[in-house]
Homo-oligomer: A and B are copies of this chain.
Amino acid sequence: MKKFVNDPKDFVAEMLQGLALANPDTLVYVPECNLIHRADAPRADRVSVIQGSGSGHEPAHVLTVGPGMLTAACPGDVFAAPPVDYVIETIRRLASPRGVLLLVNNYTGDRMAFEMAQELAEAEGIEVRTLFVDDDVAVQDSLYTVGRRGVAGNFFVMKAVGAAAEAGASLDELVRIGEKVNAATRTMGVALTACTPPAKGTPLFELGDDEIEFGVGIHGEPGRERRVIASADELVGDLVAAVATDLAVTAGDRFALMINGLGGTPISELYLAYGIAHRLLTNRGAAIARSYVGEYCTSLDMAGLSVTIVRLDHEITELLAAPAEIAVRVF
């Protein structure tokens, strides 16, 4: 294994320490429960929006805490749901009279932790709602999931809900918005290589020198099929066809289009892929009104990418365009 790591069991804690040191004025790190939260949270006049998941998907979700995005993120260890006691402690610390919204990608382990924590929090008198994200069209059930998996499309739910929460929306209103964005969003990805979790030290699965996993999950779960590597036109074309068919893309529709890198793919290749996807969708008569190219939800060092489309209406467009602020600094 060639990674920047000390003792693998400290990997997540040391990453979060670095994040906190880089953002001393805006973020608070609570080591006891792997919690990163906005320094100005909770606020009595705003719903707190919290996401948890396994680590290894950064920038999701610890790097997306900030005004107009998440109020807090409580990650588990790499590819492991956060323990229930971390989640309940997070909810307690971020509880607001306006309520708490939990965003959870649809994996069985995460569902269990968050549903149990919600029950405990409600018993303590905290109003909590939970939104499950399931944008991955690759497979119906999967290695760690009943139903569709939640992957990079989670970004759009988080951005829209975060913007609305920042503007003072109620908990009911946030649930409505989040469900609507999730229903408008589809993703599918492809892995060119496996990823290597620090504590394992070897690749999570085996891929031959010319093999790819088409429809891969963000924890390396199997997708639709093993294939031989092909041209970017063919790979991206097949991903676009999958999401466009599932969302029934028709001429005249307006979309946000995201090419999400899975961790080990350079942004040059992501822009090349973006051009292909953009042309294919506009060839179908769709308009691309917002574009996203980069890393939003990764799988450690996996080479690969996913394509996400979101059908836009006026409300979603406004929420995606609203100002936000997160730790990731590009200039």
* CB-based contact A273/B18 at 8 Å: yes
Can you list, as one digit per residue, whether each of A177-193 has a CB less than 8 Å from chain B (1) or not (0)?
Answer: 00000000000000011
Residues from chain B with a CB closer than 8 A to the CB of A229 are 2
* CB-based contact B291/A4 at 8 Å: no
Number of interface residues of A (CB under 8 A): 68
* CB-based contact B275/A18 at 8 Å: yes
Q: Which of A285-323 contact B (CB under 8 A)?
A: 288, 291-295, 298, 300-301, 303, 305
How many copies of this protein are present in the complex? 2
A321 to chain B, nearest CB (A): 10
Q: Which of B5, B266, B271 contacts A269 (CB 8 A)?
A: B5
* CB-based contact B5/A274 at 8 Å: no
A279 at the interface (CB under 8 A from B): yes
Q: Which of A53-61, A118-126, A240-248 forms contacts with chain B?
A: A53-61
Give complex CA distance A83, B327 in Å: 38
* CB-based contact B329/A275 at 8 Å: no
Residues from chain B with a CB closer than 8 A to the CB of A59 are 267, 330
A5 to chain B, nearest CB (A): 5
Q: Which of B5, B269, B272 contacts A232 (CB 8 A)?
A: B5
Q: Which of A9-17, A96-104, A218-226 forms contacts with chain B?
A: A9-17
Can you list, as one digit per residue, whether each of A43-68 has a CB less than 8 Å from chain B (1) or not (0)?
Answer: 00000000000011011000110001
14 pairs across A/B with beta carbons < 8 Å?
Answer: A3-B269, A4-B305, A15-B269, A15-B272, A18-B272, A18-B273, A18-B276, A18-B293, A22-B271, A22-B274, A68-B331, A293-B327, A326-B330, A330-B330
Please name the 4 residue pairs, one residue from A and one from B, whose CB atoms are nearest each other, closest first.
A18-B275, A18-B271, A22-B291, A2-B192
Give complex CA distance A331, B60 in Å: 11
Residues from chain B with a CB closer than 8 A to the CB of A233 are 6
Can you list, as one digit per residue, whether each of A13-35 has a CB less than 8 Å from chain B (1) or not (0)?
Answer: 01111110111000000000000
A129 at the interface (CB under 8 A from B): no
Residues from chain B with a CB closer than 8 A to the CB of A249 are none
* CB-based contact A266/B330 at 8 Å: no
Give complex CA distance A19, B271 in Å: 6
* CB-based contact A235/B4 at 8 Å: yes
Q: Which residue of chain B has the shortest Cβ distance to A236 in the bound complex?
A: B4
A203 at the interface (CB under 8 A from B): no
A29 to chain B, nearest CB (A): 10
Q: Which of A203-254 contact B (CB under 8 A)?
A: 210, 212, 229, 231-233, 235-236
